[in-house]
């Protein structure tokens, strides 16, 4: 069973998702239901495969079937036959009974408050009564979501989140993945692979594109899936990586080339970080100080300081944007792009309901500006080769892979990844970016690393004043 939080779809999963997308698009009822945007999921199990959608039950979709490919020797063979493949049902249906009664009471309170108007003493009391009733109803609802795991254990959504000392967020338990696993356990099916992908209009903030896979969110689904996956052989998702290398070192600074998969600084996963690696080799008995950030899956140049004073001076240069940074990447550009070069100006903010993703947010986001240009000729070939890719291969051509050079003018978390993937940016996710939909799922590319590399770094030496310009590609 794959890890749904760190996921690259297999060729079989990619084929099933593509067939599901085609089937929905060809059905006016289903397309009408899902076209405004919906996350769907597929579970490959011991008896075939099952589809689910995120959200409550959709009455219009009842009884509608999808075409089913037969699975032989792990290769999907599309048939012209149609069979009844119902969507995995919701874990709990709140359409009637006690829930409906309390919902009616809340609606009546809302109408009464509106009739009284703002500032009315009775309205203030009724708002408090409504809030308390809503909390009680939410607790009752989540107590009815009874979830299973592969060990045969059962817990409510309320109990799962209570272990963390918090109430479940809205719609917890209604995502596709919990529905699929619950369906498998209730019907004696062995889960083999699970994946979630988007269908329909992309939202403004999050990165979403029809047919692209996205990992499960840690905020809402994290606690739920961590329970439901117990009893299955699920890999942790840790990525092995090559050894880092020291590019430049003196008594004040050290610059290293970080491999993809290695954390820049110590984290909770227990993996050795670049900072720890450098401390052991370049500052025995001393300390190496972090200056800036680089995602775990991004490779490339990082500068560290050997004293607090030097750290402060280098950080000042980053804050004042006097440091020049160059990144290279390979992107899935099958949808095409508007221009060969340009500036992407899209403010970013943390997606608190879908951590660790970032989202475009024009109201709450911080400024984020990225310059880009598409590479060609020898430069493009070198960028492809750096990631072990061949621009002339059938896979590369099928995905419309292109090499890009990025010059970020700001340093927001996941800035280049979001600006590249978002439909208001390049609309071309970086190849291998499972977080923002750049996992191709085709052949050898399905296991590729994130194809993003910090290739150039230029700054002023904090002591000598010398201009330091470094390139590694």
Q: Which residues, other chains included, contact 399 with Cβ-Cβ below 8 Å and sequence gap of 6+?
A: 332, 334, 431, 440, 442, 445
Cα–Cα distance measured from residue 400 to residue 397, given in angstroms and rounded to the nearest whole number: 5
Q: What is the 3-state secondary structure (H, E, C) of 81-110?
A: CECCCCCCCCCCCCCCHHHHHHHHHHHHHH
Residue 104 CA to chain centroid, in angstroms?
37
d(CA 299, CA 244): 9
SS3 188: coil
Whether residue 73 lies in the annotated active site:
no
Phi, psi of 416 (to 5 degrees): -65, -40
Catalytic-role residue among 295, 297, 332, 351: 295
Name the CA radius of gyration of the chain, rounded: 25
For 92-159, the three-class secondary structure string (H helix, E strand, C coil) is CCCCCHHHHHHHHHHHHHHHHHHHHCCCCHHHHHHHHHHHHHHHHHHHHHHHHCEEECCCCCEEEHHH
| Cβ-proximal residues to 161 (8 Å cutoff; 6+ apart), any chain | 142, 167, 168, 172, 223
Integer Cα distance of 351 and 283 in angstroms: 37
What are the residue numbers of the active site? 295
């Amino acid at each position: 069973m794959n890890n749904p939080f760190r996921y690259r779809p297999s060729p079989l999963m990619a084929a099933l998702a593509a067939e599901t997308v085609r089937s929905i698009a060809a059905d006016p009822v289903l397309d009408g239901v899902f076209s405004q945007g919906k996350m769907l999921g597929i579970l490959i199990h011991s008896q075939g495969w099952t589809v689910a959608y995120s959200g409550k039950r959709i009455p219009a979709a009842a009884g509608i079937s999808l075409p089913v490919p037969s699975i032989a020797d792990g290769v999907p063979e599309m048939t012209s036959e149609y069979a009844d493949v119902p969507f995995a049902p919701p874990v709990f249906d709140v359409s009637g009974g006690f829930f409906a009664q309390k919902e009616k009471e809340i609606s009546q309170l809302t109408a009464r408050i509106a009739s009284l108007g703002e500032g009315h003493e009775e309205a203030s009391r009724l708002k408090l009564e409504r809030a308390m009733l809503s909390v009680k109803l939410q607790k009752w609802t989540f107590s009815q979501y009874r979830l299973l795991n592969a060990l045969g254990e059962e817990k409510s959504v309320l109990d799962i989140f209570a272990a963390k000392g918090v109430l479940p967020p809205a719609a917890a338990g209604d995502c596709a993945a919990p529905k699929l696993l619950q369906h498998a356990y209730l019907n004696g099916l062995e889960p083999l692979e699970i994946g979630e992908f988007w269908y329909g209009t992309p939202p403004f903030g999050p990165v979403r594109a029809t047919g692209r896979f996205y990992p499960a969110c840690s905020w809402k689904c994290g606690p739920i899936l961590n329970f439901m996956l117990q009893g299955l052989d699920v890999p942790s998702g840790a990525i092995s990586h090559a050894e880092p290398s020291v590019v430049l070192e003196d008594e004040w600074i050290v610059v290293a080339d970080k491999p993809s998969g290695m954390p820049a600084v110590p984290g909770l996963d227990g993996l050795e970080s670049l900072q720890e690696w450098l401390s052991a080799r370049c500052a025995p008995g001393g300390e190496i100080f972090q200056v800036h950030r680089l995602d775990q899956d991004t490779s490339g140049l990082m500068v560290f300081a050997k004293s607090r004073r030097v750290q402060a001076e280098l950080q000042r240069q980053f804050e004042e944007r006097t440091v020049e940074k160059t990144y290279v990447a390979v992107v899935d550009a099958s949808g095409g792009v508007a221009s060969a070069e340009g500036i992407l100006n899209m403010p970013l903010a943390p997606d608190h309901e879908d951590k660790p993703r970032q989202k475009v947010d024009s109201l709450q986001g911080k400024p984020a500006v990225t310059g880009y240009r598409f590479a060609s000729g020898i430069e493009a070939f070198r960028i492809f080769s750096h990631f072990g890719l061949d621009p002339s291969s059938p896979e590369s051509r099928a995905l419309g892979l292109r090499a890009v050079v990025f010059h970020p003018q700001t340093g927001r978390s996941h800035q280049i990844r979001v600006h590249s993937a978002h439909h208001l940016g390049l609309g071309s996710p970086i190849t291998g970016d499972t977080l923002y939909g750049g996992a191709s799922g085709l052949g050898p590319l399905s296991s590729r690393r994130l194809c993003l590399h910090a290739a150039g770094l230029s700054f002023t030496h904090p002591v000598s004043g010398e201009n330091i310009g470094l390139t590694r590609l």
